[in-house]
Structure formats: C-alpha cells, structure tokens
A and B are shown apart, each in its own frame.
Chain A
Amino acid sequence: MATADRETTGGLAALGAPVYSSLVALGDVSLFAAQILGWLARHRPFARTLLPALYTVGVRSVPVVAITGMFIGMVLAVQSYGQFHQLGLATHLGGIINISVVRELGPVLAATMLAGRVGSAMAAELATMRVTEQIDALSCLGANPVHYLAVPRFLACVLLIPLLTVMADFMGVMGGALICIRVYHVEAYYYWQHTQSMLSLWDVVTGLIKPTFFGAAIAVISCHRGFHSKAGAEGVGRAATEAFVASFIAILVLDFFLAMFLNNLHDFLWPANGIKMI
C-alpha cells in the first residue's frame, strides 16, 4: 500500500485546520442561537431593553432602508429600459422590476444594508461591553447576559427587518415607476397592469419570509461576535467587521437555500403552475 509522503500530509493538515476551525465556529454560533431561542421560550425580555432595541433597529433604520429601496428600483429601471424598449416590451418593465424588487433585491439588499448598519453596531456595542467587563458585571448582578442583551436584539431584528423590507420594496416599486413613467414615459396603465398580472401574492410572501431568516442570522451572528470579542480596540473593530462579513455571507447562503425551498414548496402546493426545480 502506498503511504502518503510528508508533503501530502502537510498539505492536508494545512487544508484541514481552517475547515476544522470553521466547523467549530459554526457549532459555536448554533449553540449560541439555541441559547437565545431557549431564553425566548422561557422568559419574555424586559421592556426596558426591548423597546430601545426596537427603536434602534426599526425607527432609526427607516431612512437608509428607504433610500436603498428607492435606488434599487431606479437603477433596475435605468438598466432594463433600453433592451425592453428595443423589443417593444417597455410596458412589461412594471412586472419585471417589481418582481425583482419584491422577491429578491429588496429583501437581500435591505438585509445587507441592515447587516452593516445594525449588525456592526450591535457587535461593536457588545464587544465594548465585553472588554470593559460589563458582561461579567451583568452575570455578577444576577442577570443572564444572553437573556438581557441578545434576546431583545434578536426579537427586534426578526420582527422589524421584514417590516423594513416592506418599506424597501415599496420605495423600490415607487423608484422604478418614477423612472419608467416620468422619465421614459412608459404608459402608466400598462406598466401597473403588467405589475398586477406578473406579481403574485406568493412573491410577496416569499419576499417577507426571507427577511425573517436574514434578521435572525444578523442578530445571532452579530451578538455572537460581540460576546466573543478579543481585548482592546482592535478586538472591538474586528468583531464589528466580522459581524458584517459573516452576516452578509449568511444572507447570501440563506437566500439561495430559501429560494430553492420556497420554489419547491410552491411546486408542491400548486403543481400545475410550477417550474420543476431540482
């Protein structure tokens, strides 16, 4: 039997180490998520921590999410109009733009914006609390840090990111209509008629299911990074950066798998209407 030489084993070990540490990190985050869900099931969060979290995640994110949504719709209109106009299908832009915004771009880009705005801020705040021993102080004073700090943030993200996505979708629809109807002079009647015929309730529902999972991922990952921050300003900075990057990757991965799952679910529920997926 041939035996592996030193180079091969050295190379395998070098490949194995990051894979192993990634699996450990994934397991750690999963256990943290289980802790949050466990506390949520056993004790409701304190109003004095939940209300500020709802305000920070929800109210203060409205302007930036609205701007994001509006520009998504406007850019889609600008980029799509030329080709559709050449084919004489400009009025179909209503359906094309609005399906794209509602099913995919609105949820994903709004969640990405919130991963940067809300996720990084949560990670930095919790990391600062970690390095200044405030989290230890919470434990010493009889409060569980996961229940006191992570649960309100998790609830705020899960409840409000879907609502913010509605805002983003609305502004995206308005932005696309503004450009198509006012700038490119597409017939408004046919623009909205194609929107109505092509955009279904299922598209809207899937566009709201995804942000619920995105919000959960942003909250769990950002709180986890904050709780496990290394010492000093560098540790806090890394926690904020890692929270955004990991949240963004999680959003992309969840989007893919949720899209597959929801498409298959649609085919299962309405087989006559569906496109067969893998």
Chain B
Amino acid sequence: MSTPSTPLIAFDRVAIQFAEQPVLRDVNVQVRRGETLAVIGESGCGKTVLLKLIIALLRPTAGRVLFDGKILTELRERDLTTQRLRFGFLFQGAALFDSLSVYDNVAFGLRAQGGHPEAEVREIVRQRLQEVGLTAGVEEKKPAELSGGMKKRVGLARALALNPEVMLYDEPTTGLDPIMTDVINELILQARRSHPVTSVVVTHEMKTVTKVADRVVMFFPLSRLKAGEGQVIFDGTPAELARCPDPRVRQFVQGEARERLSELTRNGN
C-alpha cells in the first residue's frame, strides 16, 4: 500500500510495443495521491496507452506499472477486479453500452459490484446524473439518442458512480464545442471537490490543462526522438509549461505547425 510519501501510481522504466511498433520506451512517471496530472503530447505518442497501462487493460512489454504498490497485471482475476473498481475511467467516446439505457449504464458498476439494494442504486444514479447536469427525463434514453456532450456527461456520471479513488480521463473534451468543453472542465473540478480523487487527464486542450491540472507531463512521439532522448520532454506545473524554453513544448502549447507541415507533406503523411 502507498504511504503519503510514495506515489499512488508509478511507471518504472515502462515500455510497450504493438507488433513491431514501439509506442512507449523507458517511461518513468509518478502520480501522487490527490494530484491531478495532465498528460499532453502529439497524436500517436502513447497517451491513451498510458491510461490503459495504469488500469491493466494493457500489459507492458518491459518495466512495471504500480498502483498503490501493486503490479495489477500480476494479480488474479478477482483481485484485479477489486482494484479496478477503485478507478473511474471516462473514455474518449464515452464508451456507453449501446443496448442499455442511460440509467442502466450509470447503474452498471454498482450492480456489478453487488451489495447495493435497487433503491440505493436508484438514489446514487439520480444523484450522479444531477451532479453532471442531467435531469431524470434522460434516464430511459439510449446512448444513440444523446448528443456528444450528453454522452460525455453520462460517461462521467457512470465513472463517478462507485466513488473511485482515481479518475482517468481520455481526452474528455475532444469533439465538443467550446462551451461544452468548459462545462466538462468545470465538472472535472467539481468531481474533485466533491470526491477526493487522484486524476490523470489525457488532453490536447491547453484550457483544460490550465484549469484542472496540478502538474503536466508532455510525451514526444518515439519515432521523432533523437538517440538517447527521453520520451517525457516536460514534467512540471502548468505555469512552468507556459515558460518552458524547449521549442517542441512551445510549438505544442502554442499550436503552431511550423516545420511539421513541411515534414508531413514531404513524407506524404
């Protein structure tokens, strides 16, 4: 078990590859209890893979991923399930179950965990939906009937239903309009205020980073690293991010194509 001084989540020289394609190499990142860590980086640099490694949806090809002092991929099925219920995961597309109503989606984790009478489940579901600004009228709708913003909010309610210790957000504002983006940012902050959580937020939105993150880590794609360079090219506060002199970091933060456009058009990507 982690103590206040040891990190809740730790990546120890982690590497992963798919077929012959390496995605992460020698990654050392820690997340302290109660912290909100933003993970930023270009598309394809392994941010979503990082989240899935934390909750043992993927297994590293080298190194260790520790949660609360345990290596989740070495646990038996029952123990892994118990540990996974300490997480809430908001997927990029919300990943709502198409065949279930909004109510059944949010209640899913509670029913899977067991030990909750249906009256208690109903109360928790209504409360979580209210927290994300959704009324009782939406409970019987199916995910296909919801807008993108509503899906994300239902996904957030589902992730928070079990009062998780750790929240994982995979690009929570991607595809949303600017107003709904800020609604989601506010809901992330609100969730942190009402539930004491440790959070890891993968995002491209610098507004989200500035608003919700205590600390920021920036990854760089392996294919464009020089020999001997580490994949984590920034690790600090949002204020330090804005002042970082590394041109790769500045280019990402300011959202400028610069020489990337000529690189991409030259390579025919």
List residues of chain A with CB under 8 Å of any chain B CB.
Answer: 52, 128-129, 132-134, 136-144
Q: Which residues of B contact A52 (CB under 8 A)?
A: 99
CA distance A261 to B109 in the complex (A): 47
Contact A137 to B85, CB < 8 A, known contacts A142-B109, A142-B112, A143-B112: no
Contact partner of A141 among B93, B98, B109, CB < 8 A?
B109
* Contacting pair B84 A136 (CB below 8 A): no
* Contacting pair B91 A133 (CB below 8 A): yes
A-B contact pairs, 23 of them (CB 8 A): A128-B98, A129-B98, A132-B95, A133-B91, A133-B93, A133-B95, A134-B95, A134-B97, A134-B98, A136-B89, A136-B95, A137-B95, A138-B97, A140-B57, A140-B87, A140-B89, A141-B85, A142-B81, A142-B84, A142-B85, A143-B112, A144-B77, A144-B81
Q: How many positions in chain B have a CB within 8 Å of any CB in the partner chain?
A: 23
Which one of A139, A141, A144 has the highest number of Cβ atoms from chain B below 10 Å of its Cβ? Answer: A141
B101-137, CB < 8 A from A: 108-109, 112-113
Measured CB to CB, the nearest residue on chain B to A137 is B95
* Contacting pair A136 B52 (CB below 8 A): yes
Q: Which residues of B contact A129 (CB under 8 A)?
A: 98
Q: How many A-B residue pairs have CB under 8 A?
A: 48
Q: Which residues of B contact A142 (CB under 8 A)?
A: 81, 84-85, 109, 112-113
Q: Which residues of B contact A138 (CB under 8 A)?
A: 97
CA distance A133 to B99 in the complex (A): 14
Which one of A134, A139, A142, A144 has the highest number of Cβ atoms from chain B below 10 Å of its Cβ? Answer: A142
* Contacting pair A137 B91 (CB below 8 A): yes
CA distance A220 to B19 in the complex (A): 25
Q: Which residues of B contact A132 (CB under 8 A)?
A: 93, 95, 98
Q: Which residues of A contact B95 (CB under 8 A)?
A: 132-134, 136-137
CA distance A132 to B113 in the complex (A): 23
B4-34, CB < 8 A from A: none
List residues of chain B with CB under 8 Å of any chain A CB.
Answer: 52, 55, 57, 77, 81, 84-85, 87-89, 91-93, 95-99, 108-109, 112-113, 158
User: Helix, strand, loop or mixed for chain A's interface?
Assistant: helix
CA distance A139 to B108 in the complex (A): 11
CA distance A140 to B112 in the complex (A): 11
Q: Which residues of B contact A144 (CB under 8 A)?
A: 77, 81
Contact partner of A140 among B55, B97, B113, CB < 8 A?
B55
Q: Which residues of A contact B92 (CB under 8 A)?
A: 133
Which one of B55, B77, B108 has the highest number of Cβ atoms from chain A below 10 Å of its Cβ? Answer: B108
Measured CB to CB, the nearest residue on chain B to A135 is B95
* Contacting pair B112 A137 (CB below 8 A): no
Contact partner of A139 among B84, B96, B98, B158, CB < 8 A?
B84
CA distance A243 to B95 in the complex (A): 24
CA distance A137 to B161 in the complex (A): 14
Give 17 new A-B contacts, CB below 8 A, not counting A133-B91, A136-B95, A141-B109. A132-B93, A132-B95, A133-B95, A136-B52, A136-B57, A136-B91, A137-B89, A137-B95, A138-B97, A139-B57, A139-B84, A140-B57, A141-B108, A142-B109, A142-B113, A143-B112, A144-B81
Q: Which residues of A contact B88 (CB under 8 A)?
A: 140
Contact A140 to B77, CB < 8 A, known contacts A133-B93, A134-B98: no
CA distance A73 to B109 in the complex (A): 50
Taking the nearest CB of chain A, how far is it from the CB of B78, in angstroms? 10
Taking the nearest CB of chain B, how far is it from the CB of A122, in angstroms? 13
CA distance A100 to B89 in the complex (A): 55
Q: Which residues of B contact A140 (CB under 8 A)?
A: 55, 57, 84, 87-89
Taking the nearest CB of chain A, how far is it from the CB of B120, in angstroms? 17
Shortest Cβ-Cβ A-B pairs, 5 listed:
A142-B112, A137-B95, A133-B95, A141-B109, A140-B89
CA distance A131 to B16 in the complex (A): 20
CA distance A143 to B97 in the complex (A): 13
Q: Which residues of B contact A128 (CB under 8 A)?
A: 98
Taking the nearest CB of chain A, how far is it from the CB of B38, in angstroms? 20
CA distance A138 to B52 in the complex (A): 13
CA distance A136 to B96 in the complex (A): 11
Measured CB to CB, the nearest residue on chain A to B159 is A140
Q: Which residues of A contact B108 (CB under 8 A)?
A: 141, 143
* Contacting pair B91 A141 (CB below 8 A): no
Taking the nearest CB of chain A, how far is it from the CB of B194, in angstroms? 20
Which one of B85, B97, B113, B158 has the highest number of Cβ atoms from chain A below 10 Å of its Cβ? Answer: B97
Measured CB to CB, the nearest residue on chain A to B55 is A140
CA distance A139 to B83 in the complex (A): 11
Q: Which residues of B contact A137 (CB under 8 A)?
A: 89, 91, 95-97
Q: Which residues of B contact A143 (CB under 8 A)?
A: 108, 112
Q: Which residues of B contact A139 (CB under 8 A)?
A: 57, 84
Which one of B77, B87, B91 has the highest number of Cβ atoms from chain A below 10 Å of its Cβ? Answer: B91
Taking the nearest CB of chain B, how far is it from the CB of A143, in angstroms? 5
